[in-house]
């Protein structure tokens, strides 16, 4: 009996069979290919960057790709994770709070992903236990093998069916030595067996250490961890070597010898000036051709399409490297010691900087130590200020001092989520005369609770999933600054992650005081964008949303592009102009966002 007949005959488990491979409707084994990226030695090496770059190269060739991140932690999603421990919480359009790597996939592939693209152990175990309660296992004792591994395989195949993908890219978080990842790895071993030859390409991302005291690269940790992976039944087809400098031939030879992977498939993924150059590095090393050969897809590549896509992408890289107009932007937050906490903001600033030929230098300022006494000195030399999202009381007074200084001294300001809320508080206190104005998140009995919890969220208990999450429409005030940013459209779509809002009872007071709410919810009295008149300030904009989440390399997010434009003017550039146009023929700030608005 071949694999397809075997699998189709055993959709459930009983005392008569040990197989458990639930198949989504419409799925046939072998119809989709899988590229699986494993990490060794240590986490945080850039599995998402490698996987998304390789996925982009195959996408450029005309193949349909779909990524998925498998995370070993027991959380249902990333919503309650501290940024210090896990980097930023990335929010998809459908409201899924997920790992920051999903942002890398969205930016690299220019795709809006959904909850099918993110899977945690918590989700897998929940599905297993719910099925067990319904009697879905026909009285069997539920085990890691075959039931839990069966659910993992089911998730991958469900994604393949839902997206019609030619290739599903599977990134397994953490490293092969982590206990919580063992069943993911076992599931991949089973998947390769069930799908048949040329169905799965295994990629191991490893780390080459360079001890300063030795002055040379060492591969022993990589060798030992690759053996751990092979002992689990996974033989890598490709090995990517993360290192500070290009991996030497000596190192690559050792790794090839210990893993039985040909030298030409041992790839050096060394540090470079932008994550967006990795795709071209993969092409140059022939890794894309190797993957097509391993998966039997060589005859599916569209060379002409790839040449077109490659030209557009390389134009972005060239403009990135040629950007020379210097500006300095301050990021004022409480997670500034861990840059991954603001990964999407960093990327959005890069996209906007490239769009205007700006070489942006970021200055990180810990709001926890910022005071009214030293704010002028700490913000000296900045051409613009961003106050990003966050929660809690720590660092709030520093952010208030920063916002007041930027407003009174006409420094371009962009407030994101919490930065929007604190800007409202600052304006209420210092312009509208509402002494004691605050948010009820910090002060429950505030004299003027200008920021309060969303009414519909008051009925929800617990921290997980009780916020306004995901994509929401925003109505823009005609003639407003923000409307002009997006091409004078009436409606745009932004992503949100918050549970507090401007209290409607104070809107008139704030508006009468000169604060304009130029973006609102279509269906509720929720203020989503604020601005000051250009006559009063060169650029003072805040949004309850997270526009950084929808910025793309070839499509700079309009709010960030307008902010960078303002910082260039602040630095002395008289009339900053875009450095390039999209292949669709329109400046980045006018094109894709309008398409989003129409949908």
Q: Residue with structure tokens 């060798």?
A: 223
Under a CB-based contact definition with an 8 Å cutoff, are residues 382 and 413 in contact? no
Give Rg (Cα) of the chain.
Answer: 25
How far apart CA 396 and CA 429 sit, in angstroms, is 14
Sheet holding 238-243, edge to edge: 118-120, 65-71, 167-172, 33-39, 200-207, 238-243, 266-270
Distance from chain centroid for Cα 579: 26
Question: Does 97 participate in catalysis according to the annotation?
Answer: no
The residue whose two tokens read 């913000």 is 379
d(CA 474, CA 307): 38
Q: DSSP letter string over 102-151?
A: HHHHHHHHT----GGGEEEHHHHHHHHHHHHHTTTTTTPPP-IIIIIHHH
* Annotated catalytic residue 546: yes
E strand or H helix at 497? strand 491-498
**How far apart are the C-alpha atoms of 31 and 39, rounded to whole Å?**
26
* Interacting residues of 177 by C-beta distance below 8 A, sequence separation 6+: 40, 225, 228
Task: Give ∠ CA 126-132-133 in degrees, rounded to 5.
Answer: 90
Q: Could you say which of 194, 548, 557, 590 is catalytic?
A: 548
Annotated active-site residue in 355, 383, 537, 546: 546
CB 346 within 8 A of CB 103: no
Between helices 343-355 and 303-322, what is the axis angle to 10°?
Answer: 90
The C-alpha atoms of residue 135 and residue 142 are separated, in whole angstroms, by 11
Q: Where are the alpha helices (DSSP H) in 507-547?
A: 507-512
- Tell me the C-alpha distance between 520 and 525, whole Å: 7
Q: Which residues of 399-437 are buried (b: 16+ CB within 10 A; e: fewer)?
A: bbbbbbbbbeeebbbbbbbbbbbbbbbbbbbbbbebeeb
CB 290 within 8 A of CB 237: yes
Contact 426, 407 (CB under 8 A): yes
- Tell me the CB-side half-sphere exposure of residue 56, using CA atoms within 13 A: 28
Beta-bridge mates of residue 37: 171, 203
C-alpha 591/C-alpha 585 separation (Å) is: 9
Chain CA centroid to CA 28, Å: 31
Contacts of 340 (CB under 8 A, 6+ apart): 83, 87, 88, 100
Classify residue 14 by its DSSP letter: B
Separation CA 216–CA 184 (nearest Å):
34
* Active-site option among 309, 417, 441, 537: 417
**Token digits for 143?**
């085990």
Q: Whose CA is closest to 494, among 475, 479, 513, 480?
A: 475
Active centre residues (catalytic): 417, 546, 548
């Amino acid at each position: 009996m071949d694999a397809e007949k075997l699998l189709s005959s055993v959709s459930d488990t009983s005392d008569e069979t040990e197989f458990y491979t639930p198949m989504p409707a419409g799925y046939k084994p072998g119809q989709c290919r899988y590229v699986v990226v494993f990490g060794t030695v240590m986490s945080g090496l850039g599995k998402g960057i490698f996987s998304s770059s390789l996925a982009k190269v195959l996408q450029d060739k005309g193949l349909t790709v779909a990524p998925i991140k498998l995370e070993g932690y027991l959380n249902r999603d990333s919503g309650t994770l501290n940024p210090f421990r896990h980097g930023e919480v990335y929010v998809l359009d459908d409201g899924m709070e997920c790992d920051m790597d999903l942002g890398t996939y969205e930016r690299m592939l220019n795709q809006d992903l959904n909850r099918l693209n993110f899977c945690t152990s918590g989700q897998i175990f929940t599905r297993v236990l719910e099925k067990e309660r319904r009697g879905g296992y026909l009285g069997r004792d539920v085990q890691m093998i075959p039931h839990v591994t069966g659910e993992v395989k089911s998730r991958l195949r469900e994604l393949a069916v839902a997206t019609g993908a030619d290739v599903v890219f599977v990134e397994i978080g953490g490293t092969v030595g982590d206990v919580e990842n063992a069943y993911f790895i076992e599931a991949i071993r089973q998947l390769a067996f069930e799908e048949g030859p040329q169905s799965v390409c295994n990629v191991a991302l490893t780390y080459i250490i360079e001890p300063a005291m030795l002055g040379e690269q060492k591969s022993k940790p990589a060798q030992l961890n690759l053996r751990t992976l092979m002992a689990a039944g996974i033989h890598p087809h490709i090995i990517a070597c993360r290192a500070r400098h290009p991996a030497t031939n000596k190192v690559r030879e050792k790794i090839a010898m210990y893993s039985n992977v040909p030298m030409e498939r041992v790839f050096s993924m060394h540090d470079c000036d932008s994550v967006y150059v990795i795709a071209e590095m993969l092409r140059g090393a022939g890794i894309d051709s190797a993957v097509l050969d391993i998966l039997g897809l060589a005859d599916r590549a569209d060379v002409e399409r790839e040449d077109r896509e490659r030209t557009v992408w390389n134009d972005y890289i060239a403009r990135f490297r040629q950007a020379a107009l210097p500006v300095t932007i301050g990021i004022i937050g409480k997670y500034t010691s861990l840059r991954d906490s603001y990964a999407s903001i960093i990327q959005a600033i890069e996209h906007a900087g490239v769009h205007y030929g700006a070489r942006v230098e970021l200055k990180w300022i810990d709001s926890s130590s910022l005071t009214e006494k030293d704010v002028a000195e700490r913000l000296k030399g900045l051409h613009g200020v961003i106050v990003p999202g966050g929660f809690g009381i720590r660092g709030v007074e520093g952010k208030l001092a920063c916002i007041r200084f930027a407003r009174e001294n006409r420094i371009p300001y962009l407030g994101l989520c919490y930065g929007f809320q604190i800007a409202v508080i600052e304006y209420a206190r210092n312009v509208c005369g509402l002494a004691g104005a605050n948010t009820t998140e910090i002060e429950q009995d505030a004299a003027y609770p200008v920021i309060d919890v969303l009414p519909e969220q008051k009925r929800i208990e617990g921290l997980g999933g009780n916020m306004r999450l995901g994509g929401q429409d925003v109505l823009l005030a005609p003639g407003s600054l923000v409307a002009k940013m997006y091409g004078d459209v009436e409606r745009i779509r932004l992503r949100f992650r918050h549970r507090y809002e401007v209290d409607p009872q104070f809107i008139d007071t704030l508006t009468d005081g000169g604060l304009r709410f130029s973006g609102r919810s279509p269906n509720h009295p929720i203020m989503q964008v604020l601005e000051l008149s250009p006559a009063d300030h060169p650029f003072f904009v805040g949004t309850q949303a997270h526009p950084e989440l929808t910025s793309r390399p070839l499509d700079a997010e309009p709010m960030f592009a307008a902010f960078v434009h303002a910082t260039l003017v602040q630095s002395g550039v008289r009339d900053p102009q875009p450095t390039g146009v999209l292949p669709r023929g329109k400046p980045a700030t006018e094109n894709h966002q309008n398409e989003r608005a129409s949908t």
